[in-house]
């Protein structure tokens, strides 16, 4: 069995922790690892890393490769989209790529950002789904409802296929409260989990029936896909491939195929499943204190109840709150009542309207070589903390509008300025004049941390000319 993990988050519902450039699946929402790491880890005992594929927006490619590196995930099995075009496009594209490797492949599809805590029953269901998929069914897992949720689509079961598996009678859009209560009572309705199992040949055949235009375009997409040159050779669409992708119809696999196909089976899943849809889910998937609070980070809490208080290093002092969400990050804070958690997207929309950066990026950014954090910014200067991972190096680059002053505060830096190479120990400084070619590398075994002070008339990540890059990034 192959896995395709759909990592298409837009970063709005868990704002300000999530941003466009760091959506939910790349975050550690609860526990030790990020959601995408959990998603891979959870299936690793039945699907080995060389059979796992991931599809994500290209801007998340390096971070996804980096997060999954330690789990043995090969970067060449990362497909990238230039833009989100909903699940039919992402799943169809992945299926087409897989079918080239193995036309008989059984393909299981998993959203990258869900939480499942009952792993054994989940894996058992997947094995059962595999056997049913072999009989040319499109199989979906239906989560046994535990409450009358109005935030999910539902699936109504039809006739039994075999033990604990049914034909799907129909798919139902998010119901109102009364209807959801009726479904819960009747018992033959399930939450649509977005987890599917099928043969790639079966799926592609159904796509050709119900989304024939897409089916044609998939062929063109695959012939325009190639791995990039560099340390993380993820799959990338060529410029003409990107154009095709932009022209794809934006439709969900549910609406485009599943609702129309006569060939769909549902496996009732009695598992602990959570789609981590809003900040309030945190109270469902995390340990609450004795007053119903979920508190993390640097918090002084006095007489709060049923609240979600998420801090990082900065002190958050909360007093007398009830059903309030407080999420603090270095550059943005969210405060709202729990009952408004669904409307956090309104905040993100407002921020976008005001053309502010906090919807898309935070002060910390990951890069294939490590990460940086903006510590302070004014019009004419900017202070950054730069961490270069062991063995990594930034591109050979120059800037037209700024000079840079580096002080090594931890580790050892290899610095190239012009044609001169030198080693900078901790507690040494150097200046990079404006316009000068330079490169920073860490050949040491421990991390390299430098404090960079930039000065110039334009302090912008786009003010960069790249001459060489080990990760294959352009100009």
**Which residues are near a copy of itself by CB under 8 A?**
15-16, 300, 302-303, 314-322, 324, 326, 328, 330-337, 339-340, 343-344, 346-347, 350-351, 354, 356, 358, 373, 375-376, 378, 380-381, 383, 385, 403, 405, 407, 409-410, 426-427, 429, 431, 449, 451, 453, 455
40 vs 324 by CB, closer to a copy of itself: 324
Q: Which two tokens stand for residue 231?
A: 């340390």
Burial class (CB in 10 A: 0-12, 13-18, 19+), 314: exposed
Produce one character per residue of 373-393: b if its CB has 16 or more CB atoms within 10 Å, e if not. Answer: ebeeeeeeebebbbbbbeebb
E strand or H helix at 227, and its extent? strand 225-227
- Which of 78/449 has CB closer to a copy of itself? 449
Considering beta carbons, is residue 135 or 291 the nearer one to a copy of itself?
291
Q: What tokens were used for 155?
A: 């699936």
> Minimum distance from CB of 292 to a copy of itself (Å)?
17
Pairing of strands 189-199, 273-274: unpaired
Nearer to a copy of itself, 227 or 277 (CB): 277
User: Min. distance of Cβ 369 from a copy of itself in angstroms?
Assistant: 20
The first and second tokens of residue 207, run together, are: 């796509």
Minimum distance from CB of 83 to a copy of itself (Å)?
A: 26
What minimum distance in Å lies between the beta carbon of 454 and a copy of itself? 9
- The answer to whether 450 and 426 have CB atoms below 8 angstroms apart is no
- The distance of Cα 230 from the centroid of its chain, to the nearest Å, equals 22
Residue 167 or 377 with smaller CB distance to a copy of itself? 377
DSSP assignment string, 27-74 = S--SSSS-HHHHHHHHHTTTS-GGGEEEEEEGGGHHHHHHHHHTTT--
| Closer Cβ to a copy of itself, 83 or 409, answer by number | 409
As given in the structure block, the two tokens for residue 41 are 């880890």
DSSP symbol at 257: I
3-state DSSP call for residue 442?
coil
> Which residue, 319 or 420, is less far from a copy of itself as judged by CB?
319
Tokens representing 6? 């759909």
What is the nearest approach in angstroms of a copy of itself to the Cβ of residue 448?
A: 13
16: cis peptide before it, omega within 30°?
Answer: yes
Q: Alpha-carbon distance 278 to 389, whole Å?
A: 33
Our CB check for a copy of itself shows the closer of 132 and 408 to be: 408
How far is 440 from 449, CA to CA, in rounded Å? 11
CB of 309 to a copy of itself, least distance (A): 8
Q: What's the CA gap between 197 and 246, in Å, rounded?
A: 27
CB of 176 to a copy of itself, least distance (A): 22
Backbone angles phi, psi at 174, to 5 degrees: -50, 120
CB of 426 to a copy of itself, least distance (A): 7
**Shortest CB 30 distance to a copy of itself, Å:** 21
Q: Quick one: DSSP state of residue 406?
A: E
Judged by beta carbon, residue 178 or residue 409, the one nearer a copy of itself is 409
Q: State the nearest-atom distance from the C-beta of 354 to a copy of itself, in Å.
A: 7
What length does the chain have? 475
For residue 187, the cross-strand partners are none
Which of 202, 278 has the CB closer to a copy of itself? 278
């Amino acid at each position: 069995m192959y896995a395709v993990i759909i990592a298409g988050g837009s970063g709005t519902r868990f704002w300000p922790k999530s941003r466009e450039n760091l959506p939910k699946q790349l975050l550690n929402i609860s526990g030790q690892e990020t959601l995408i790491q959990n998603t891979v880890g959870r299936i690793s005992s039945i699907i080995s890393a060389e059979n796992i594929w991931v599809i994500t927006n290209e801007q998340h490619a390096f971070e996804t490769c980096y997060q999954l590196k330690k789990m043995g995930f090969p970067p060449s099995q990362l497909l990238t989209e230039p833009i989100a075009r909903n699940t039919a496009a992402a799943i169809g594209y992945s299926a087409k790529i897989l079918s080239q490797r193995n036309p008989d492949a059984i393909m299981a599809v998993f959203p990258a950002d869900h939480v499942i805590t009952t792993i054994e029953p989940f894996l058992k269901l997947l094995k059962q789904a595999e056997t049913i998929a072999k009989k040319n069914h499109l199989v979906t897992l239906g989560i046994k409802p535990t409450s009358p949720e109005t935030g999910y689509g539902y699936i109504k079961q039809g006739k039994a296929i075999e033990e604990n598996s049914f034909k799907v009678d129909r798919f139902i859009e998010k119901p109102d409260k009364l209807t959801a209560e009726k479904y819960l009572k009747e018992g033959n309705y399930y939450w649509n989990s977005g987890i599917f199992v099928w043969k790639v040949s079966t799926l592609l055949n159904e796509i050709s029936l119900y989304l024939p235009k897409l089916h044609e375009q998939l062929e063109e997409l695959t012939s325009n896909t190639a791995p990039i040159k560099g340390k993380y050779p993820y799959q990338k669409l060529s410029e003409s491939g990107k154009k095709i992708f932009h022209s794809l119809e934006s439709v969900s696999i549910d609406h485009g195929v599943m609702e129309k196909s006569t060939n769909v089976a549902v496996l009732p899943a009695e598992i602990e499943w959570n789609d981590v849809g809003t900040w309030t889910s945190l109270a469902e998937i995390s340990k609450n204190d004795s007053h119903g609070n979920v508190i993390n980070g640097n918090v002084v809490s006095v007489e709060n109840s049923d609240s979600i208080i998420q801090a990082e290093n900065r002190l958050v002092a909360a007093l007398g709150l009830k059903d309030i969400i407080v999420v603090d990050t270095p550059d943005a804070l969210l405060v709202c009542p729990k009952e408004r958690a669904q409307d956090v997207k309104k905040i993100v929309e407002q921020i976008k309207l005001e053309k502010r950066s906090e919807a898309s990026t935070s002060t910390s950014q990951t890069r294939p070589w490590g990460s940086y954090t903006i510590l302070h910014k004014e019009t004419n200067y900017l202070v950054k903390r730069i961490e270069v991972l062991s063995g990594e190096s930034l591109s050979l680059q120059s800037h037209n509008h700024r000079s840079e002053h580096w002080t090594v505060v931890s580790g050892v830096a290899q610095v190239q300025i012009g044609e001169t190479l030198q080693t900078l120990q901790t507690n040494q400084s150097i200046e990079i004049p404006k316009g000068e070619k330079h490169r920073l590398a860490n050949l040491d075994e421990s991390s390299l941390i430098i404090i960079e002070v930039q000065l110039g008339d334009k302090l912008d990540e786009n003010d960069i000319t790249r001459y060489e890059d080990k990760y294959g990034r352009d100009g």
